[in-house]
């Protein structure tokens, strides 16, 4: 039987047993080889591994790995299995650090998972598939682009040869997501905003998410944001090539891009993005329940 509270669980569900040898010994390091996880990657990655080691609901795995020079880099995947309900689990993909210099999203995913570890019922009906570090070389270099100089968020579903995009496209094509949220931070914005991709469902999830996260940071109410027309912090249009569900996937999952102001305090960005994620989950559950009653 599953415990109600993950913090009290024994660590036997850890999926990265190597990581439990201590923070100095990160996963996939074997004797005499170059570490797969550079130290900076470990700062973000290690707390997820630690949580997976103590939370029965959280499964750590590798979405894929690739070589750059003599180093191997991994895109990790952490899946939180929420308590089942009367309807099939909804699978939600949560993505962060697609741009390597935007760490708030990764810490927001950690904050969300820590909350869910204490209160798994908040994730009832959901399997949350989290990708906290989508651009490991960019994160290591503190750059928006990956080490090949590419903006990964312009490369999706366009035949990209970038390994990060190939790995993530495979995840998007095989995980069967019912919804995806990509977390970003914008250093040109003084407030929170999001992309709804011109769909009503996305907007119906984004509006309450922005309203709730405004408790922490202001919303960007400009009429032009990131070069697009905006209203109340919501942009309907979008760049091409952003991380998105496969073009042919039907029915379309909901898809939201949530942006925090990168110049704000990291803690505030993390808190705002975590509140937004929790709100989206709550609102989508209401939408599913309503649709089931129709
Ligand atoms: Zn970004």
195 vs 3, higher pLDDT = 195
Q: What is the per-residue pLDDT for 248?
A: 95
Position 15 pLDDT exceeds 50:
no
Alpha-carbon distance of 102 to 95, in angstroms, equals 12
Distance 110 CA to ligand 1 centre (A): 18
Which of 18-32, 33-47, 228-242 has the weakest average pLDDT? Answer: 18-32
Phi-psi bin for 123: left (phi > 0), alpha (psi -120 to 50), beta? alpha
**φ/ψ (deg, to 5) at 287:** -65, -45
Distance 185 CA to ligand 1 centre (A): 5
Q: What is the per-residue pLDDT for 17?
A: 36
Most confident of 5-9, 45-49, 169-173, 289-293: 169-173
* pLDDT > 70: percent of the chain: 86
Distance 175 CA to ligand 1 centre (A): 23
Distance 108 CA to ligand 1 centre (A): 14
Confirm if 134 and 98 have CB atoms less than 8 A apart.
yes
Q: What is the per-residue pLDDT for 29?
A: 33
Say which DSSP state 219 is in.
Answer: B
Confirm if 161 and 228 have CB atoms less than 8 A apart.
no
Distance 11 CA to ligand 1 centre (A): 34
pLDDT bracket for residue 200 (50, 70, 90): very high
pLDDT bracket for residue 216 (50, 70, 90): very high
Distance 72 CA to ligand 1 centre (A): 23
Mean pLDDT (the chain, rounded): 88
pLDDT bracket for residue 26 (50, 70, 90): very low
Count other C-beta atoms under 10 Å from residue 205's C-beta: 28
Q: Residue 259 in 3-state DSSP? A: strand
Distance 252 CA to ligand 1 centre (A): 23
pLDDT bracket for residue 6 (50, 70, 90): low
pLDDT bracket for residue 39 (50, 70, 90): low
pLDDT, tens digit (0-9, with 9 covering 90-100), for 227-268? 899 999 999 888 899 999 999 999 999 999 999 999 999 999
Alpha-carbon distance of 294 to 282, in angstroms, equals 19
Mean of the pLDDT values across residues 156-170? 97
The domain spans of the chain are 57-293
Alpha-carbon distance of 254 to 199, in angstroms, equals 8
Q: Residue 173 in 3-state DSSP? A: helix
pLDDT, tens digit (0-9, with 9 covering 90-100), for 57-77? 999 999 999 999 888 899 999
Distance 15 CA to ligand 1 centre (A): 29
DSSP letters for 17-63: GGGGG-TTS-TT--TTS--SS-HHHHHHHHHHHHHHHH-TTEEEEEE
Confirm if 3 and 56 have CB atoms less than 8 A apart.
yes
Q: Does domain 57-293 have CATH number 3.20.20.70?
A: no
Mean of the pLDDT values across residues 101-107? 97
* pLDDT > 90: percent of the chain: 76
83 vs 42, higher pLDDT = 83
Phi-psi bin for 197: left (phi > 0), alpha (psi -120 to 50), beta? left
Q: What is the per-residue pLDDT for 237?
A: 83
Q: What is the per-residue pLDDT for 288?
A: 85
pLDDT bracket for residue 9 (50, 70, 90): very low
- According to the 3-state scheme, what is the secondary structure of 4-25? CCHHHCCHHHCCCHHHHHCCCC
Mean of the pLDDT values across residues 125-138? 97
Alpha-carbon distance of 89 to 128, in angstroms, equals 10
Position 97 pLDDT exceeds 80:
yes
């Amino acid at each position: 039987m599953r415990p109600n509270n993950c913090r009290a669980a024994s660590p036997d569900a850890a999926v990265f047993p190597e990581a439990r040898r201590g923070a100095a010994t990160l996963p996939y390091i074997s004797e005499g080889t170059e570490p797969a996880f550079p130290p900076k990657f470990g700062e973000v990655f290690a707390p997820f591994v630690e949580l997976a080691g103590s939370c029965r609901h959280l499964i750590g795995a590798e979405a894929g790995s690739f070589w750059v020079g003599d180093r191997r880099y991994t895109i990790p995947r952490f899946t939180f299995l929420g308590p089942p309900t009367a309807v099939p689990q909804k699978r939600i993909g949560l993505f962060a650090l697609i741009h390597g210099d935007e760490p708030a999203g990764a810490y927001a995913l950690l904050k969300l998972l820590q909350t869910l570890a204490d209160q798994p019922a908040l994730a009832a009906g959901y399997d949350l598939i989290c990708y906290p570090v989508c651009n490991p070389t960019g994160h290591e270099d503190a750059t928006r682009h990956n080490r090949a100089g590419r903006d990964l968020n312009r490369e999706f579903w366009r035949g990209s040869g970038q390994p990060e995009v190939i790995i993530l496209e495979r995840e998007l094509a095989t995980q069967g997501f019912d919804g995806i949220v990509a977390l970003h931070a914008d250093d040109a914005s003084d407030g929170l905003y999001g992309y709804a991709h011109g769909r009503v469902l996305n907007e119906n999830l984004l509006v309450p998410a922005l309203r709730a996260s405004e408790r922490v940071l202001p919303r960007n109410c400009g009429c032009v944001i990131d070069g697009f027309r905006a209203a109340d912090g919501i942009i309907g249009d979008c760049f091409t090539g952003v991380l998105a569900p496969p073009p042919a996937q039907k029915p379309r999952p909901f898809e939201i891009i949530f942006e925090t102001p990168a110049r704000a305090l990291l803690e505030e960005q993390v808190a705002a993005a975590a509140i937004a994620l929790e709100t989206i989950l709550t609102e989508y559950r209401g939408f599913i329940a309503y649709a089931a009653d129709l």
